[in-house]
Structure 1
Amino acid sequence: MTDYMLDSGHFLVVGGTFIAVVASVLLHYEVSIALSRTMENATNSLRRRFLVLIFGLLGAHIVEIWFFALASWLLLTHPLTGSLTGLESIHFLDHVYLSAVTFSTVGYGDLVPEGAIRFLKGTQGLTGFMLITWSASLTFIEMQRHWEVGKKS
């Protein structure tokens, strides 16, 4: 049995993960509040309001995916944080791709994190799942609210 010791790479990954999660949740909160207020105060067509809502949430998710991709890319410049395997050379957009499939919990498995960086990817999957369900809940609430208003008019 091997002793498992935490090294500076582990602490870097935990810190980087914390920053990416906090940035993503705060961004999602601010975008959700802004979009909800926009829906309440909008006087344009129902179609336009919902397109703003959906594209606003989609944009937030894309930025959140890029937050985690940037964290992964930066963390993996340190030799003790781990590596990605699956390709001969890994470029920044490969980090974005892996971030998207992790965030959405698709997880194709063609790129595999090894070492401490797995903590970032595991936490990202949970964070992505929560933020996606948050968006789905907000969309449902807004649709229900505006459909009820439409029925009364």
Structure 2
Amino acid sequence: MQAGAPYGIHALAIGAAIIAIVATVSLNFVGMKWLGGLYNRHRERVGGPVGHHSMLHMVFGLLCLHVASMLVFGVGFWALLQVPEAGSIDGAHHAGMFDAFYLSAMTYSTVGFGDLVPKGPIRWLAGAEALVGLMMIAWSASFAFMEMSRHWRDDLR
């Protein structure tokens, strides 16, 4: 634990991490369910396997879910930065929403810390986001693979 940071601030950061985890997993679950239903309705309309262009729509939909997930954590970082003693983002001249979102994108994608690094209790949120991002990316890749293997034919254009 960082010297000087009260237990309550750590509890607040852990609470923010839990809220962001629940929001992100729920968002991705509902979003993938909706995308899968959309994909299946399209398949039923065309009377069989769908073409490559439909898979593109699904991939872009999954990317939108990931961006929304990064935004959830970015808002969490930004909100915690407003709390005294909750931490800081080293490397940011003025840790605003864009820096918080950038840090979130680097953490969610597990690229890692480089030019911006979380310090203090907000690291709880960063650790949770790295785990959730890895899981959500793997989950959406599995989802896309399953949909492709079930419904996609190479001879359709």
What is the TM-score normalised by the length of structure 2?
0.87
Instruction: Please tell me whether residue 138 in structure 1 is matched to residue 143 in structure 2.
Output: yes
Partner of 2:18: 18
Q: Which moved more, 1:77-86 or 1:62-71?
A: 77-86
Asked if the contact 2:107/2:126 (under 8 Å) is kept, the reply is yes
Asked if the contact 2:74/2:101 (under 8 Å) is kept, the reply is yes
Which of 74, 79, 86 is equivalent to 1:74? 79
What is the TM-score normalised by the length of structure 1?
0.89
Provide the secondary structure at the position in 2 that maps to 1:116.
Answer: helix
CA distance in 2, matches of 1:90, 1:152: 51
CA distance in 2, matches of 1:50, 1:4: 51
RMSD over equivalenced CA pairs, Å: 2.3
CA distance in 1, matches of 2:117, 2:5: 22
CA distance in 1, matches of 2:132, 2:82: 23
Taking every aligned residue pair, what percent have the same amino acid on both sides? 39
Instruction: Please tell me whether residue 57 in structure 1 is matched to residue 62 in structure 2.
Output: yes
Aligned residue-pair number: 150
Q: What is the letter of the counterpart of residue 117 of structure 1?
A: I
Task: Give runs of aligned pairs for residues 1-153 of structure 1, distance below 5 A.
Answer: 7-42=7-42, 43=45, 46-147=51-152, 150=153
Distance 1:151 1:113, change over 3 A: closer
Unaligned runs of 5+ in 1: none
Compare relative contact order (CA 8 Å, sep 6+) and give the higher one, 1 or 2: 2
Q: Which runs of 4+ in 1 moved over 6 A?
A: 2-5
CA distance in 1, matches of 2:147, 2:88: 42
Asked if the contact 1:73/1:92 (under 8 Å) is kept, the reply is yes
